[in-house]
Amino acid sequence: MFKKYHILFMGIFNALDILLTVIALYLADLGSRYFLHQGAAPLPPPHFDGQAYFLAVIIWMAAFRIFPIYSSKRAEPLANELALVGMAGGVSWFLFLGALFLLGYPITTRLPAIYFGVLDLALLIIFHICLRAILRFIRSRGYNLKKVLIVGAGQIGQQIASVLLEHPWTGFKVVGFLDDDPSIQGRSVLSIPVLGTLEKIRTVVSTLEFHDEVIIALPDNHKSSVQEIIPEIEDIPVNVRVTPALYTPDYIRPYVEDLWGIPLLGIRQSGITTPYAAAKRLIDIFGALFFLIVFSPLMLLAAILIKIDSKGSIIFVQQRVGENGKLFWMYKFRTMVEGSEEMLLQLVDFNTLEEPVFKIKNDPRVTRIGHFLRRTSIDEIPQFFNVLKGEMSLVGPRPEEVVVVQRYNSWHRKRLLAKPGLTGPAQITGRADLPLKERVQLEIDYINNYSFFIDVEILLKTIPVVIKGDGCY
């Protein structure tokens, strides 16, 4: 139930955090005036005006969405979640103090601001303790479940299943095992059905349509089996975890998890991890807002020209493959005639492609204004909305089409370990003219060696590339 409305509930939790922050600011202001005035009436005027409240709302809203406060923490200790809340609240409070100083608020606001910081942190911690208790109660009653498929019904697999059965409040429900042992096929282990052999993993995952968790718990001598299993489900957006002995260095930056004494390695994580991910997200939000404001007149002009030039919608919406294979709808200004996607099947035979990439020079589907929009990259301005939604980043691998990613091999898929970007290493090194192997290698190197300065360098180098219009068709 909750998974279906995940974004809605994230917004509600964020709104409640902001509401508590506003209440804390009001109470701190009221309390400081009351005690400093020794309770006499009338009280002196408030220290904080509407501008201060607006600042608090914006800063806390951004910080609590940038830090992974609302990501799933079913099996994590409460201390980890509260530490994140403390970090987000602390960063927000320092930014708030800095903003007050820059806006010229008097020094008399210093003490109420300290009261505010302490009270806000206390309220937020109490709220998240209560929220976790409520969520655990709901999950223990069979709601908000995450279905788990365990590959391996041996000692390790049974140990993991037992641990999950002993902690129903996490909401992890083991739906079945996969194992090659013929003696347990069609039977149950720990009252959990054995759904088939290892080679049927793709069929089982697709049939059950749970798309949640796959835990590979095979014996140490099954490393080769793991390397065969994972590529089978690479294009399915499930979280994959393996026992440490089965890990191979082919996967980028695994992360260690402790499942009540059982170590697991997660191999479906973004290649750009905290704290870099939080800083990158902050830059994305402010950068996207800035560019949308700056380019708003240009967007209006482009919309008018597209409408005058040809029939069809102004915005073209297409499904693309994002971080860890998650699908999202990408926005662009329409540069082609109506029905262009149907015409593509007549121009490109995907079954005969030697590698998962295609180029169409002098594409007959492109409109007159579309040629200009593509050459100047104006058609990509609406993607700043994808950045605000968290589906894309300012800098990252190219957002690829579903039909192309379906033909990727294991090496190609490593580029999906980061959010796609409006620009990236491939765009500044050849754009559409770059061979696939070189482009993918550039993007994997970018993920492995990520730093803030690399993003700045790519953004700066994008400017002359866009002006020249290199590699655009």
Reported as a single tens digit per residue, the pLDDT across 301-351 is 999 999 998 888 999 998 998 887 888 999 999 988 887 766 666 666 556
Q: What is the mean pLDDT of residues 118-144?
A: 91
Helices (H), 141-271: 155-166, 201-208, 223-232
d(CA 127, CA 466): 48
CATH number of 146-266: 3.40.50.720
Q: What is the mean pLDDT of residues 73-91?
A: 84
Residue bearing tokens 């290493």: 425
- With 80 as the cut, is the pLDDT of residue 227 above it? no
**What's the pTM?**
0.60
Alpha carbon distance, N-terminus to C-terminus of the chain: 45
Closest CA to 208 of 256, 148, 291, 284: 148
Closest CA to 114 of 14, 31, 43: 31
Give every CB contact of residue 193 below 8 A, 6+ residues apart in sequence.
176, 177, 187
d(CA 119, CA 343): 61
Give backbone dihedrals phi and psi of 172, rounded to 5 degrees, phi first: -85, 120
CB 64 within 8 A of CB 17: yes
Please report, rounded to a whole number, the percentage of residues in the chain having pLDDT higher than 90.
20
d(CA 19, CA 200): 49
Amino acid sitting at position 53: Y
Q: Is 59 helix (H, G, I), strand (E, B) or coil?
A: helix
Residue bearing tokens 């349509």: 209
Per-residue pLDDT tens for 229-255?
777 777 677 778 887 655 554 444 555
Amino acid sitting at position 448: N
CB 458 within 8 A of CB 425: yes
DSSP state at residue 351: G
Break the chain into its structural domains and give their ranges.
Answer: 3-140, 146-266, 276-468
Amino acid sitting at position 119: L
Q: Greatest CA span in the chain, whole angstroms?
A: 85
Query: Which H/E stretch holds residue 216?
Result: strand 213-216
d(CA 346, CA 294): 39
Structure tokens at 438: 């070189």
Per-residue pLDDT tens for 357-376?
556 666 778 888 988 998 88
Bigger pLDDT: 23 vs 106: 23
